[in-house]
Structure 1
């Protein structure tokens, strides 16, 4: 029987690689741990006394009991994390001197509660605290990494293990294979996830700063290798060619271990990479995505070099608001080490973006100040403290510049607060920041020493205004193809209008033009006859899509040609919904069009559809806000919009986008990516094109591709199309047919 299996091919080489990264191999037969929480008390005590010279041995039992009580909470480890990252009181980890901590690696440490037990392949200990575990599989294993994730998810959901997942902060999974990019549920590769009580979300990791890690790997230690092989009863593989190959530092598993668990990187992750979100559904724990990690490091690097402004170009859906939140914590400490007090501002230009940003920051635990006037901004500029709230919580000030008048005397920083460093995160720096207006000049004048970080998924790159000209060079870039490859966003499928409906639409236009002659284009497309034919198609397509996808929770959005068309569409929709035999009467010839009930479009769905009209001058702000929230909750099926919600609107259930008009330049990509969020098991977002957007998209995409080429050189070849084109679809269908050739397809 071959001695090569999962342990010898992946686990043992990984253990040896971690030893080279600075972890000490610890055989469990020589160790002692507390089975209640898997803390190694001897290692813990030794580290605590070393890190805290004023602490005595008699204090340690009480400290361990305190940790045990902390682990009993239903907080996904937030309390434990606050304790291990605290800089005051008895410190559990020395983040200022990483060599002052103890770093150990063990294998098959049992996590036991009563009759239930699991043994992760590898557990990493920092000062005796089991903060990470790694599960590995051999390449080409049945089910790939998904099989291991399913097994772990069952453990996550077991209440008996809850305290263990409060202790463990981070998990990694690998079957030692390279990523198969773009797979919705990746079965191969090396991934990381935050600890959870439910399903773990796998995150890719693609190293961008390999040069910084070139020296973290120490030499191999043959004595340690012999000890590990003896302890794991695998001496037989010593010196074999396969074992030597498996120890290579550049294997997929080892690359992930180096990127995440080399000491400097791991210390960064422990301190700054986690977010606990308090949502209506309960608490969620998130971990930094790798582009957020590298953007944060790049920002600090630019600041250290004296650069005061720049742009983070991250595609829509990649978490730019979350990036700002991570940076409030990281840069707050970064400036504190430089004896400066950092005050953070998030600048938006629309009320809906202000509300969205405030909500995103609040659920992550930030105290949020809201500024919507020049006077309030002026008062805020006089503050010289990092936080100004009774709880002492980290804070950010969200500023809505839309409410400011054009006044050259907007605000001026307190000249005497020399230790204050203001950091402005400017959201969506592809619009509204006109250099000919007063705001940019005012912002510069408010504090000439302030740092300005622009955030955008679609920077302005035209011949007129350019984001780089206004806000500086790119600090970090993460374009949509990378986001799709990493599974954070979806590709789109553009759907043509069915031929018979296209003919009906053309006939409706022709008849209206004949009847009314010389009618303006806007009025033509808002005419009840044309709108009726358009609505026919939307309702038929949307309800059929729900059946095809087997999911009646998805939502749709109709981007209308004008506010008048949006009102007419919504009006006809409401009329059909409330009338058993709805009619649309046209004043031109009083022609009556009988239409079926919405609910009858597809008999499988007996519940009538619902809709909302979202226009800036329709209904009150509160009404629109309530309707948008209801849509996100799944209580409204279709949104009829014109200009609102085309940017900054994040509703993962939105999976059908109907384009009633061509949208130009960067606004097109903004609008398209409303439908690219991950949702349940959807692999694509769907765009129905009434307006012929393909040509405009091709032009915009080429411009961004050219910009990337200038920035990235040869790397730009990795950035292709947001849409899945017809050739790819045909190829995928042919592959499916080939795979199913031997199976009858006429019966389910």
Structure 2
């Protein structure tokens, strides 16, 4: 098919698609423009703002237009961030009426009624800035604002593909940056590959949109019309502009993020399910999107949309580990501008209680599940509370009450009653809706997870994520190390694995605790650590040090074993002192010599920065539980796993 398309005929085919979707086509040379230095369709913009803001006087409209044309100093990204706030929330203006100064928001878009907006698809739009004359292939103008810039390449020329289109867009941002102040979405396309991104996206973050309606069937080779019709139907585009574009990152390096198709449709389904669940059984479903596919950002989009769908609900984001709580809180805090409220992290059980008791609306509260206590009165009986549980498959969410027997130090049997955390949390928030987010599938035997959350809302598994380029494929290599273990030790290992294969509920953990302690002594024995570290050093130096940027992660069985691995590696390679770091939680009873290695919270944050920096000498991170989820290092090429892998998929 591509042999019949030159660049002009392909451009014409794309424009035809947009006219069929209700856009008005304008060939830019027919506009009779006299000012080629304006990136806006000025007359369309003025007419649109007057139409959308009929209750406001002309001076309010003109002040809004003045703000749209005059941005304070700053980088292109900073100006674009300001404009994105205008686009999503309106332009704040002041004006005088009857001798009094008043404030108002001038809406740039009618998000509720697409027919009230002016959608234009314009080709060959000439724009002049700082002596540079450029002519992007296609621009989508919404109410006179150039929100989407498309660069199309000839499908019939092998050397002119999406990479060339991407490079051309980057050059445009240097040559005519003012056009991109107003940009929401960038598109690169050559018929066979069609991708969308933002002004901060690298080529690898420009993603395809492979479905029109959210079904993932037949998405391996989506046709170009699926891309355009999936993203740019007028109602869909308005939804994306309002609810699925945000800024994240820190103040020094803000990142503009456009949701992928898997995030968009899954979040929409999750919101619909939540609306139903708040008036029925409170089970908001399970949101399974594989690790690395942007699950944390999907949670942000979901929390944002719930504000309108559920009339300002209170959202409780719950994890089962402090480091996960910190990671998610940091992600949400970076998106506070998009969320229109500042999240709060509960510091203690008392703090959590004070945050929930008496609250009538709003609030995004982060907590670990262990801050909920059994036997207390309900913290809130409101229905518009949504509990978002991360890593909801782990098995800590049971309802059952069990009697657990264990041995004390004198060898005597003791019994105690253990209640599933789901029951404790339900008692604290009896009318809340619960949604579970997970990066791994829920076992068919896991009755508790379904009992708490319900069935799957959406599934985006590893196969689909790799196919889309959202995550990278994982290749496993078994490393066999000769440890010279006797038969009794081997029997102990087999027995331990049998225990780990069972459901990891509280009773099982109690039963296996002593056995796992014996396992620790086997895996942490000095000869074992010596053999392990010699193998890691040889494998890393011979095969992995020069792969990508040489970043590697060692996952240790336990904290003491992590420290032993660290010491042994430095003994074998003293020159690696800047190359290796240990990332794990600290404890009050840790040996004093551990303190300088583990460090403080700020030390861990610095290690994270170093490990993500491809040019930093830190190349190997030794971890136990931290950094295994919600931690993105695109250049990480190698992971050495020295712990049992349970229910791996």
Q: Normalized against structure 1, the TM-score is what?
A: 0.69
Q: Secondary structure at the match of 1:493?
A: coil
Q: Is the 8 A contact 1:169 1:194 kept in 2?
A: yes
Q: Secondary structure at the match of 2:645?
A: coil
Deviations 1:638-693 (A, max 9, x none): 3334455444444444321112233211xx4xxxxxxxxxxxxxxxxxxxxxxxxx
Residue of structure 2 in register with 1:209 after alignment: 213
Give 1:369 deviation, angstroms. Answer: 0.6
Corresponding residue to 2:88 among 67, 76, 85: 85
Structure 1 residues 92 and 524, CA gap change in structure 2 (3 angstroms)? closer
Corresponding residue to 1:544 among 542, 545, 549: 542
Q: Is the 8 A contact 1:45 1:57 kept in 2?
A: no
Structure 1 residues 113 and 577, CA gap change in structure 2 (3 angstroms)? same
Q: Which runs of 5+ in 2 are unaligned?
A: 91-103, 216-220, 401-418, 490-516, 612-616
Say whether 1:567 aligns with 2:537: no
Q: Is the 8 A contact 2:552 2:636 kept in 1?
A: yes
Corresponding residue to 1:554 among 544, 550, 554: 550
Give 1:622 deviation, angstroms. Answer: 5.6
Q: Secondary structure at the match of 2:22?
A: coil
Q: Distance in 2 between matches of 1:198 and 1:154?
A: 13
Corresponding residue to 1:534 among 526, 532, 535: 532
Structure 1 residues 571 and 200, CA gap change in structure 2 (3 angstroms)? closer
Q: Distance in 2 between matches of 1:103 and 1:50?
A: 14
Deviations 1:231-268 (A, max 9, x none): xxxxxxxxxxxxxxxxxxx9833222211111110110
Structure 1 residues 23 and 111, CA gap change in structure 2 (3 angstroms)? same
Deviations 1:382-411 (A, max 9, x none): 344545xxxxxxx5211122344x422164
Q: Is the 8 A contact 1:109 1:123 kept in 2?
A: yes
Residue of structure 2 in register with 1:630 after alignment: 607
Give 1:100 deviation, angstroms. Answer: 1.1
Q: Is the 8 A contact 1:314 1:478 kept in 2?
A: yes
Q: Is the 8 A contact 2:119 2:140 kept in 1?
A: yes
Corresponding residue to 2:584 among 614, 622, 626: 614
Q: Distance in 1 between matches of 2:624 and 2:325?
A: 20
Q: Which runs of 5+ in 1 are unaligned?
A: 178-188, 212-249, 388-394, 514-518, 579-597, 600-606, 669-700, 702-748
Say whether 1:473 aligns with 2:455: yes
Q: Secondary structure at the match of 1:490?
A: coil
Corresponding residue to 2:168 among 142, 151, 161: 151
Structure 1 residues 21 and 64, CA gap change in structure 2 (3 angstroms)? same
Structure 1 residues 481 and 410, CA gap change in structure 2 (3 angstroms)? farther
Q: Is the 8 A contact 1:149 1:200 kept in 2?
A: no
Q: Secondary structure at the match of 1:492?
A: coil
Length, aligned pairs only: 561
Within 5 A, what are the aligned runs for 1:192-341? 192-196=196-200, 201-207=205-211, 209=213, 252-279=223-250, 281-306=252-277, 308=282, 309-335=284-310, 340-341=311-312
Deviations 1:115-141 (A, max 9, x none): 223222111111111111222223253
Q: Secondary structure at the match of 1:70?
A: coil
Residue of structure 1 in register with 2:614 after alignment: none
Give 1:454 deviation, angstroms. Answer: 0.7
Residue of structure 1 in register with 2:116 after alignment: 100
Q: Indicate the RMSD between aligned Cα atoms, in angstroms.
A: 3.2
Corresponding residue to 2:178 among 163, 166, 170: 163
Q: Normalized against structure 2, the TM-score is what?
A: 0.78
Q: Is the 8 A contact 1:71 1:77 kept in 2?
A: no
Which stretches of structure 1, 4 residues or longer, exceed 6 Å deviation after superposition? 510-513
Structure 1 residues 414 and 36, CA gap change in structure 2 (3 angstroms)? farther
Give 1:19 deviation, angstroms. Answer: 0.8
Q: Distance in 1 between matches of 2:487 and 2:357?
A: 65
Residue of structure 2 in register with 1:43 after alignment: 44
Q: Is the 8 A contact 2:562 2:582 kept in 1?
A: no
Residue of structure 1 in register with 2:398 after alignment: 434
Structure 1 residues 207 and 507, CA gap change in structure 2 (3 angstroms)? closer
Q: Distance in 1 between matches of 2:329 and 2:426?
A: 24
Structure 1 residues 464 and 296, CA gap change in structure 2 (3 angstroms)? closer
Give 1:493 deviation, angstroms. Answer: 1.9
Q: Is the 8 A contact 1:429 1:459 kept in 2?
A: no
Residue of structure 2 in register with 1:704 after alignment: none
Residue of structure 1 in register with 2:407 after alignment: none
Q: Distance in 2 between matches of 1:31 and 1:71?
A: 30
Structure 1 residues 43 and 474, CA gap change in structure 2 (3 angstroms)? same
Q: Secondary structure at the match of 1:286?
A: strand
Within 5 A, what are the aligned runs for 1:28-39? 28-31=28-31, 35-39=36-40
Q: Distance in 1 between matches of 2:478 and 2:604?
A: 29
Residue of structure 2 in register with 1:421 after alignment: 384
Structure 1 residues 145 and 376, CA gap change in structure 2 (3 angstroms)? same
Q: Distance in 1 between matches of 2:201 and 2:573?
A: 42
